[in-house]
Chains A and B, each alone.
Chain A
Amino acid sequence: MSWDVLLPLLGFLLLMFLAGIYTARQVNEGPGFLKDYFLGGRQLGGFVLALTMVATYGSASSFIGGPGIAYNMGLGWVLLSMAQLVTGYFTLAVLGKKFAIVARKIDAVTLIDFLKARYENKWVVIFAAASISIFLFSATAAQWVGGGRLIESFTGVSYPTALIIFSFSVLVYVVAGGFRAVVITDTLMGIVMFIGTLIILAATIMAGGGVPHIISTLSAENPNLITPFGADRSLTPLYVSSFWLLVGVGVVGLPQITVRAMSYRNSKAMHQAMIIGTFVVGFIMLGMHLTGVFARVVIPGIKVGDTVMPLLALKVLPGWLAGVVLAAPLAAVMSTVNSILLIVSSSIVKDVYINYIKPDASQQSVKRLSFSVTTIIGVLVFLMALHPPDLLIWLNLFSFGGLEAAFIWPVVLGLYWKKGNAAGAGGSIVGGVVSYILLDQLAPNLWGMHTVVLPVAISLAAYIVLSLLFQKNTENELSRQNII
């Protein structure tokens, strides 16, 4: 790839690095270190909150994988991707002010802090921390591989070198700056993702000779490309609808998203974030996937879906603009891994070490530990990504659905249903994760729905039935103080 493409990309990496380092200097030295490092001191404004949620949620699949599938499937896949519009407002509306208020009352910094205070049960905490560590560690390692591959394909350097560049540009500021550095870089990356989408969509429509021409060319090639059913008519309404759970409303159970719902400054920030977030996520999803479909007319005959977007950018844009557009998927990967890295680190430092191993750890040692655990996880992820073991790929496939099946009900019902208790939450987490893994192995996409649907239902049933069976254990500190 030529220098005019590379320069904007490298400039982007450098900018992220500098922004991260700059914010890192503001990390609180005082007694609020943990809250500051893992939660930014609950000071996010609306714009930053919206962008960090979108950027954390939007990953390589929104920019590379998804448009690649849309290229092959047609408008039906764009329809499917629009199930994600709801993520822009649903999580914040449902967790809402109650989650923010409760989190402040109990001084929660992580999702697990909330579960611990709500259920007062060691096993719920351990199951939850284990699910988060395993699933998110694999998810982040897989994204890491994706980030390395992106840099490799753009720059032509070897994969290990690409991985080092990627790791270095992410790790330094995450370790040093924590949550605050992550959300600031997320915001910049969100802007890059938005602008990248706008440029590539406009350029593709022009290169294809306008929308009517593109659509009639697609229709002439295969009329199914412009139906909601996919090129091979495999996208049934039920299957497509079930993605509303996986990538739409189910996102409310993802810890890296949930933690953001306790990080904002005030009601106004939340209100703004819902408005901005909905618009930005809708625009990016619609724009990128539609671009993928339109690309079929501009660069026909591509076999490997993942190469559609890079080839398209190079074809329809001048070099330096292609560099700007190709920074978008890199931004998406980086903004996803930085948040996940921090969540895994917080669940080890805060949820396990301080809760159970050394509750009276001094501020200084907590600080040192936070830095070193984040670094160690980062290095481990890097090593895993060098030679990704099969187990990692396998676990990563589960991470999204597995976390949703585990956490949706313990979080949402824990917040709104007084009768929910530890038995219900424990059963819900275990039942959700186990049934998800079993179903995926034995009967994927059972009854024509995405595999995540049944485990979420099983997890709901387990929560309600077990909570009601063990009602005498429900009373706890939160309900006595009327916090829930």
Chain B
Amino acid sequence: MDPRFKVSNREALMGIGLAVLNFIWWYAFAYGLGGKPVKEYQYIWGLPAWFFYSCVAGFVVFSILVYVMVKVFFKEVPFEEDHFQETKGEEK
């Protein structure tokens, strides 16, 4: 297999992993904190805590996580250079 595909497969899985984490973060804060009666709500910067953590902090945290994921784990591979000849005829 084209060695660049190994890189790509791993990065695709990381993208899915990050999306799953993103969903859990979003869901847990929204319905964990937001499910309580409104009287018991706490507020951060004037916003209900559930909303602050789930949407505002979630936006900031996942923007940073994308940055970290890309900078630390994603590899640069060439696109144009043709690996076609090398891989031709190899077994799957």
B31 CB contact (under 8 Å) in A212, A224, A237, A282: A237
Question: For residue B22, which residue of chain A has the nearest CB?
Answer: A86
Given contacts A226-B48, A482-B90, contact A274 B4 (CB under 8 A): no
A100 / chain B contacts, CB cutoff of 8 Å:
79
A98, B84: Cα distance in complex, Å: 14
Given contacts A89-B15, A212-B43, A212-B46, contact A282 B79 (CB under 8 A): no
A79 CB contact (under 8 Å) in B38, B54, B66: B54
The 0/1 profile, CB within 8 Å of A marked 1, for residues 44-60 of chain B is 01111011001110110
B87 / chain A contacts, CB cutoff of 8 Å:
481-482
Question: For residue A479, which residue of chain B has the nearest CB?
Answer: B92
B12 touches A416 (CB 8 A): yes
A122 adjacent to chain B (CB < 8 Å)? no
Interface positions of A from 8 to 26, Cβ below 8 Å from B:
none
Total contacting residues, chain A, CB less than 8 A: 56
A105 / chain B contacts, CB cutoff of 8 Å:
82, 84
A104 touches B30 (CB 8 A): no
Question: For residue B23, which residue of chain A has the nearest CB?
Answer: A244
A459, B57: Cα distance in complex, Å: 35
A93 CB contact (under 8 Å) in B4, B15, B43, B82: B15
Given contacts A96-B8, A274-B70, contact A267 B75 (CB under 8 A): yes
The 0/1 profile, CB within 8 Å of B marked 1, for residues 126-156 of chain A is 0000000000000000000000000000000
B51 CB contact (under 8 Å) in A78, A85, A282, A283: A78
B1 / chain A contacts, CB cutoff of 8 Å:
482
A104 touches B46 (CB 8 A): no
Question: For residue B74, which residue of chain A has the nearest CB?
Answer: A271
A96, B7: Cα distance in complex, Å: 10
A212, B43: Cα distance in complex, Å: 8
A215 touches B47 (CB 8 A): yes
Interface positions of A from 265 to 313, Cβ below 8 Å from B:
266-268, 271, 274-275, 278-279, 282-283, 286
A271 / chain B contacts, CB cutoff of 8 Å:
70-71, 74, 76
A94 CB contact (under 8 Å) in B12, B35, B48, B79: B12
The 0/1 profile, CB within 8 Å of B marked 1, for residues 414-426 of chain A is 0010100000000
A227 touches B66 (CB 8 A): no
Given contacts A271-B76, A416-B12, contact A227 B5 (CB under 8 A): no
Q: Main SS of chain B's interface residues?
A: helix
A211, B52: Cα distance in complex, Å: 12
A222, B82: Cα distance in complex, Å: 62
A189, B25: Cα distance in complex, Å: 31
Question: For residue B90, which residue of chain A has the nearest CB?
Answer: A482
B27 touches A241 (CB 8 A): yes
A82 / chain B contacts, CB cutoff of 8 Å:
26, 54-55, 58-59
A211 touches B47 (CB 8 A): yes
A79 to chain B minimum Cβ distance, whole angstroms, is 5
A219 adjacent to chain B (CB < 8 Å)? yes
Question: For residue A103, which residue of chain B has the nearest CB?
Answer: B79
A267 touches B54 (CB 8 A): no
The 0/1 profile, CB within 8 Å of B marked 1, for residues 469-484 of chain A is 0000000000101110
A159 adjacent to chain B (CB < 8 Å)? no
B46 touches A211 (CB 8 A): yes
Interface positions of A from 191 to 246, Cβ below 8 Å from B:
210-215, 219, 223-224, 226-229, 237, 241, 244
A481 touches B15 (CB 8 A): no
A393 adjacent to chain B (CB < 8 Å)? no
B84 / chain A contacts, CB cutoff of 8 Å:
105, 481
Q: List 10 A-B contacts (CB under 8 A).
A: A90-B15, A94-B15, A97-B4, A101-B4, A226-B41, A227-B34, A237-B27, A237-B31, A241-B23, A275-B70
- Contacts beyond the supplied A86-B23, A89-B15, A89-B18: 7 A-B pairs with Cβ under 8 Å: A75-B51, A78-B55, A97-B8, A237-B30, A244-B23, A271-B70, A418-B92
By a beta-carbon cutoff of 8 Å, the part of chain A in contact with chain B is: 75, 78-79, 82-83, 85-86, 88-90, 92-98, 100-101, 104-105, 210-215, 219, 223-224, 226-229, 237, 241, 244, 248-249, 266-268, 271, 274-275, 278-279, 282-283, 286, 416, 418, 479, 481-483
Q: 10 closest pairs, A vs B, by CB?
A: A93-B15, A211-B46, A212-B46, A98-B8, A228-B34, A267-B76, A223-B38, A97-B8, A282-B59, A271-B70
